[in-house]
DNA sequence: GTTGGCACTCCCCGTCCTCGAGTGCCAATG
DNA sequence: CATTGGCACTCGAGGACGGGGAGTGCCAAC
């Protein structure tokens, strides 16, 4: 009974604080929620909640605000699933349906998610390592240069310029291309190494270094940790939370410009199909410890190929954000499935 | 004589204001610059400059700050070319040299420019319309779907999924591909329409709609106004100028997220090889009229293929920014030339 | 045209003070 | 023993006040 009410108080504090942005006091609380008890009782509960670390006061004689721990309890035990309206679902679906290629899908998704949540959205390209090769193309750029184009079954297209150790003719390029294609078509990128290992030896000695160079670039492109790409959008929404980041918007913006940082972030939450939340100090990136991350993985069926998420102030509408992230992840998975 | 000194005063005001961020008064001016006259004389000059609209005072009994017109005069008549140190040139050169493909060149350039100028950098991908087709590839994704990959001589690679009106065999795809390639290789994208016009008629009637669909997508990809792509970086630097954007960072960030807006911006300054400056209200985008744009075009030889630029507060170091933009544009042109 | 002098204007900034929301504690109550 | 009303207390927000100072405009003298 008592425990129940305390949790209800915590929930009320979180909700009020999220919507008003101001420390919430005992009196305002009884007025806005039908708690059925007096403000003095609430004060006692609040004292207990503060004792346990769920809420804090910015200074004596101010209202309470939730701590990271308080938000954590709210997310874990209190926030019900907030289903999206069918209108919202339809909007998502129609917005993503018009995409013409993978780049388009990614950029539409990120804009959509940023718009729904009014926060910063992150969407990761399907990982190459988890994709299979659909097609390879080698285009001769000059005597000793070629362009390698790789098309994965997730829709990703990567290109790299290869500097060849020796001049190679158009005809040679065509032979190399056709052999590499037959060796790698349908192969998952992570298995590519063994699949093409013996290929150079099949060619004339003079050509072998060139073939090896092309293969090296191919493997680099697929295995390199830099193969991961993330797009982000809605940075402007950060400015909306000037009260939170007032003094130091800069480090947050800087962190968000670093691909490596974003990868680390999404890596933490994209391992599961459920939506995962990292609150404040739980955030692995130091400059983002004033923010929360809501994210999840997406992919074809059970094999997750990338992550999608949202970064915002710890004071955010968790149920709504979680629902939006989940919905977008579902649509992304569906689009991948269709290929 | 008089005119000369007045201009010197304007220059001094701009320089001081840019470096101190504070309205500059007559006394401080004589102290910091060897003007050889007393502060009273400067006051007279300032009154004249204010009369002519070059400077203004935020309120009575405060120092003066340059107006947009003042900056314009500074840029046009006063700012000498500020050569980059050889160390800087070397840094630029080595930073851009490591790029592995066009995407890499673009993202490195934008980061570099943002870092040098400590402002927001914009780099536009080489326009497809100005590029020639180097290679075309058509990959069959299913009975009625194909992926069209287009490689331009500027290094751009674009891909599009094509929905075919009728099932097409692997063999058909190969024939279409080879015919389209021979019809379009080396052709500038803007001339592509006539070059491929008669191609569908060369195929069997049953295949013609599919060929037409592929060609339609091809033309769409190259002529569509959306073919233009711009990358931006250094958004975090905006937060540094909190004094300027304090109240409304949001519209600026929003404007910078709109590709269309960025295109309009760069379009204004990328028509020339000289560096062009748009100051404050001269800026075509309403939400950016509190900012200045420094930009230029780049390309192979005389034919410009895209733009590069920097957005920052009107109070910026114009000579330095102009030098940096010019340097990066030169390196980009050089890299394109090498292909 | 230039200069020194002088009165004047405001912004900045620190101080002081009041107001009010909110708290903690306590004694009373069912 | 949880709940409640009462009460003294705390502390930040915000407004009023006032001195200090940087800067200006103007004027008379050179």
Residues A83-92: tens digit of each pLDDT: 888 888 888 8
The CATH number assigned to the domain with range B4-76 reads 1.10.10.10
Residues β-bridged to residue A159: A149
Domain(s) of CATH 1.10.10.10: residues in chain B: 4-76
Residues A133-226, CATH architecture: 2-Layer Sandwich (3.30)
Q: Across the interface, do B101 and A159 touch by the CB < 8 Å criterion?
A: yes
Query: In this structure, what are the phi and psi dihedrals at residue B84, rounded to the nearest 5 degrees?
Result: -80, 150
Q: pLDDT higher for A334 or B243?
A: A334
Q: Across the interface, do B339 and A100 touch by the CB < 8 Å criterion?
A: no
Q: Is residue B307 a contact partner of residue B298, using CB atoms and an 8 Å limit?
A: yes
Residues B109-127: tens digit of each pLDDT: 999 999 999 999 999 999 9
**pLDDT value for A98:** 81
Domain(s) of CATH 3.30.390.60: residues in chain B: 133-226
Residues B198-212: tens digit of each pLDDT: 899 999 999 999 999
Question: Measured in angstroms, what separates residue B74's CA from nucleotide D22's C1'?
Answer: 26
Work out the number of other CB atoms within 10 angstroms of the CB of residue A163.
12
Choose, out of A104, A157, A178, the residue to mutate when testing the contact with B (most B CBs < 10 Å). Answer: A157
- Judged against a pLDDT cut of 80, whether residue B3 lies above it is answered with no
Residues B115-167: tens digit of each pLDDT: 999 999 999 999 998 899 999 999 998 889 999 999 998 888 888 889 999 99
Q: A309: Cβ–Cβ under 8 A, 6 or more apart, which residues?
A: A121, A122, A265, A266, A269, A270, A293, A294, A295, A296, A325
Residues A132-180: tens digit of each pLDDT: 999 999 989 888 999 999 999 888 888 888 999 999 999 999 999 999 9
Q: Across the interface, do B139 and A139 touch by the CB < 8 Å criterion?
A: no
Three-state SS string across chain A, please? CHHHHHHHHHHHHHHHHHHHCCCECHHHHHHHCCCCCCHHHHHHHHHHHHHCCCEECCCCCCCEEECHHHHHHHHHHHCCCCCCCHHHHHHHHHHHHCCCCHHHHHHHHHHHHHHHHCCEEEEECCCCCCCEEEEEEEEEEECCEEEEEEEECCCCEEEEEEECCCCCCHHHHHHHHHHHHHHHCCCEHHHHHHHHCCCHHHCCHHHHHHHHHHHHHHHHHHHCHHHCCEEEECCHHHHHCHHHHHHHHHHHHHHHHCHHHHHHHHHHHCCCCCCEEECHHHCCCHHHCCEEEEEEEEEECCEEEEEEEEEEECCCCHHHHHHHHHHHHHHHHHHHHHC
Protein residues bordering strand D (Cβ below 7 A): A 2, 5, 36-38, 40-41, 44, 59-62; B 23-28, 39-40, 43, 46-47, 50, 57, 60-64
Q: Which residues of A179-201 are buried (b: 16+ CB within 10 A; e: fewer)?
A: bbeebbeeebbeebeebbeebbe
Length of chain A: 339
Closest CA to B291 of B302, B275, B304, B280: B280
Q: Enumerate long-range contacts of A88-94, CB under 8 Å, 24 or more apart.
A: A88/A116, A88/A327, A89/A327, A92/A116, A92/A327, A92/A328, A92/A331, A93/A331
- The verdict on A139 touching B (C-beta cutoff 8 Å) is yes
Residues B274-293: tens digit of each pLDDT: 999 999 999 999 999 989 99
Domain(s) of CATH 3.30.450.40: residues in chain A: 86-125+229-338
Which residues between 181 and 220 in chain B have a beta carbon less than 8 angstroms from any beta carbon of chain A? none
**pLDDT value for A225:** 64
Confidence of residue A99 (pLDDT cuts 50, 70, 90): confident
- Judged against a pLDDT cut of 50, whether residue A1 lies above it is answered with no
**pLDDT value for B90:** 86
Q: pLDDT higher for B95 or A283?
A: A283
When the pLDDT of each residue in chain A is averaged and rounded to a whole number, the result is 90
Closest partner CB to B139 (pick from A135, A235, A242): A135
Work out the number of other CB atoms within 10 angstroms of the CB of residue A153.
17
What is the percent of chain A with per-residue pLDDT over 90, rounded to a whole number? 63
- Judged against a pLDDT cut of 60, whether residue B1 lies above it is answered with no
Classify residue B203 by its DSSP letter: S
Which residues between 251 and 270 in chain A have a beta carbon less than 8 angstroms from any beta carbon of chain B? 251, 253-254, 256-257
Least confident interval from A85-89, A164-168, A199-203, B173-177: A85-89
B259-281 mean pLDDT: 92
Closest CA to A322 of A286, A279, A283, A289: A279
- Judged against a pLDDT cut of 90, whether residue A242 lies above it is answered with no
Question: Measured in angstroms, what separates residue B41's CA from nucleotide D29's C1'?
Answer: 15
Closest partner CB to A137 (pick from B103, B149, B250): B149
CATH 3.30.450.40 at B86-125+229-338, yes or no: yes
Tell the residue number behind the tokens 């790029």, with chain if given. Answer: B99
Q: Is residue B305 a contact partner of residue B299, using CB atoms and an 8 Å limit?
A: yes
Residues A23-39: tens digit of each pLDDT: 999 998 998 888 888 89
Query: In this structure, what are the phi and psi dihedrals at residue A204, rounded to the nearest 5 degrees?
Result: -60, 150
Nucleotide nearest to B42 (CA to C1'): C2
- Judged against a pLDDT cut of 60, whether residue B253 lies above it is answered with yes
Which protein residue's Cα is closest to nucleotide D24 at C1'?
B61
**pLDDT value for B312:** 95
- Judged against a pLDDT cut of 80, whether residue A236 lies above it is answered with yes
């Amino acid at each position: 009974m008592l425990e129940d009410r305390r949790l209800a108080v915590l929930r009320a504090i979180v909700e009020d604080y999220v919507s008003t942005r101001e420390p919430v006091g005992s009196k305002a609380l009884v007025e806005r929620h039908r708690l059925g008890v007096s403000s003095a009782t609430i004060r006692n509960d609040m004292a207990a909640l503060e004792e346990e670390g769920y809420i804090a006061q910015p200074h004596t004689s101010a209202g309470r605000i939730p701590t990271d721990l308080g938000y954590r309890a709210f997310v874990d035990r209190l926030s019900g699933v907030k289903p999206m309206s069918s209108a919202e679902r339809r909007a998502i679906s129609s917005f993503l349906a018009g995409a013409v290629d993978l780049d388009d899908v990614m950029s539409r998704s990120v804009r959509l998610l940023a718009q729904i949540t009014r926060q910063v959205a992150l969407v990761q390209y399907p990982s190459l390592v988890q994709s299979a090769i659909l097609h390879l193309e080698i285009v001769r750029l000059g005597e000793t240069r070629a362009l390698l184009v790789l098309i994965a079954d997730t829709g990703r297209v990567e290109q790299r310029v290869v500097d060849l150790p020796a001049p190679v003719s158009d005809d040679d390029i065509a032979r190399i291309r056709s052999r590499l294609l037959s060796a790698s078509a349908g192969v998952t990128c992570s298995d590519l190494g063994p699949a093409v290992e013996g290929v150079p030896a099949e060619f004339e000695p003079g050509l072998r270094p060139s073939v090896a160079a092309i293969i090296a670039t191919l493997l680099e492109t697929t295995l390199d940790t830099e193969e991961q790409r993330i797009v982000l959008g809605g940075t402007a929404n950060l400015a909306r939370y000037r009260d939170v980041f007032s003094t130091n918007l800069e480090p947050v913006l800087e962190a968000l410009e670093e691909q490596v940082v974003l990868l680390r972030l999404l890596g933490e939450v994209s391992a599961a199909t459920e939506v995962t939340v990292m609150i404040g100090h739980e955030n692995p990136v130091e400059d983002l410890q004033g923010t929360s991350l809501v994210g999840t993985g997406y992919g074809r069926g059970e094999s997750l190929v990338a992550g999608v998420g949202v970064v915002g102030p710890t004071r955010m509408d968790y149920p709504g954000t979680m629902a939006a992230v989940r919905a977008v992840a579902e649509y992304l998975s569906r689009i991948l499935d269709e290929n």
